[in-house]
Amino acid sequence: MKYTKGIQVVFVALLSVFVTTTSWADKKLAVDKVKGPLSVMVLGSGGPIATSIGRASAGYLIFVEGEPRILMDVGGGTFQRLAKSGVNIRNLDIVLLSHLHIDHTGDLSAVIKTLYFHNNIAGTARTAPIHIYGPAANGATFPGTDVTQYPATTVYSDGQYAMPNGVERYLNIFAKAISGGRSSFSYAAHDLNSMVSGATVEEVLRTDDGVVIEAIAVDHGPVPAVAYRVSYKGYSIVYSGDTRSTGPNMVTIAQDADLLIYDTAITDTLPPNPVFHALHTSPTRMGEVAADAEVKKLVLSHITPVTETRLDEVKDLVRVNYDGKIKAAKDLKVFNLGHHD
């Protein structure tokens, strides 16, 4: 009897292991959900505040024909989400920074470092530069001083990576060391117009295979900031970054977009600190922009404790003006364009 019970216990334990292993095997990695010509994977749908909900800060990875090509913002936690996604980024060469707040830039160096590790693991050499785009300085200074609040993206990037004084300058020897001298670290930083008044959409880059990246300056209070549009084969993804969406700039860049990822940090009523309304977009204004631009789908992201528990209210306020599709972003959610399962 004891022997039989022992067998039963072992059998149940083995069955439990089998079921657990099978359930893990059945779970798709986020990378396995990427389909079609143009996709975006949400690496971080949160804002600057660490909460128990666990959203990473802002980060979005764009795929072209299933290949990860463009990283839009790379805030804290996006490195961990990238690891969990199953994506290999060894060929990634474009980083688009909406602005230089740390919840949009904090994991940049970690992601760059893993890019070289991904090449090393694959047995490939990496010598092509990483192109980093972002806003130019706008001249805003600290009160009572002539010290500028924000550097240009070129200055920021050089401060991180340039020899001889860049904070992360060791990457220049690291890339060679792990590859036996076959890889070399290289970057090229580019400043984009950050003056909001009178801004027009500028073409940032056009690749040989037809990817077009555009940008426009947007209002984020005193912070130099830009919104981006990535287009390919007639499909387009627009990312607002952080903005309060005054003026026509967001409508201009989002016109007829298939997907608009929008700053959802606040509600229409004042949050605990009213300065947030000088920096971010209210749901009502978001709906106006989405409607005027005639976007097909609106994705609510950069979700904060102010909006986390009020997303239904946010959607209702957006729908006052916009009758298109609305989705709330989640970390590792994939949006595919041009593919129908």
Give the E-state strand segments of the chain in sequence order: 38-44, 59-64, 67-74, 94-96, 130-135, 187-192, 202-206, 212-217, 226-232, 235-239, 259-263, 297-301, 325-328, 334-337
Residue 12 lies in a domain: no
Q: How confident is the model at residue 339 (pLDDT cuts 50, 70, 90)?
A: confident
- CATH number of the domain at 291, please: 3.60.15.10
Tokens representing 164 are 């001889």
Residue 206 lies in a domain: yes
State whether the Cα torsion 76-114-237-194 is positive or negative.
positive
Residue 72 lies in a domain: yes
What is the tally of structural domains in the chain? Answer: 1
CA separation for the pair 172, 183 (Å, rounded): 10
Tokens representing 199 are 């801004």
pLDDT digits (tens, 9 = 90+) for 29-87: 999 999 999 999 999 999 999 999 999 999 999 999 999 999 999 999 999 999 999 99
Residue 20 lies in a domain: no
Q: Which range of residues forms the domain containing residue 101?
A: 36-337
How large is the average pLDDT for residues 171-194? 96
CA separation for the pair 232, 212 (Å, rounded): 7
pLDDT digits (tens, 9 = 90+) for 261-307: 999 999 999 777 888 889 999 999 999 999 999 999 999 999 999 99
Residue 298 lies in a domain: yes
| Dihedral angle computed from the Cα positions of residues 37, 55, 50 and 242, in that order, rounded to the nearest 10 degrees | 40
Angle between helices 311-319 and 283-293 (to 10 degrees): 40
Residue 7 lies in a domain: no
pLDDT digits (tens, 9 = 90+) for 184-219: 999 999 999 999 999 999 999 999 999 999 999 999
CA separation for the pair 83, 272 (Å, rounded): 35
- Above pLDDT 90, what percent of the chain? 88
Cβ contact 263:220 at 8 Å:
no
pTM of the model: 0.91
Residue 222 lies in a domain: yes
Residue 8 lies in a domain: no
Nearest alpha-carbon partner for 339 in 155, 66, 76: 66
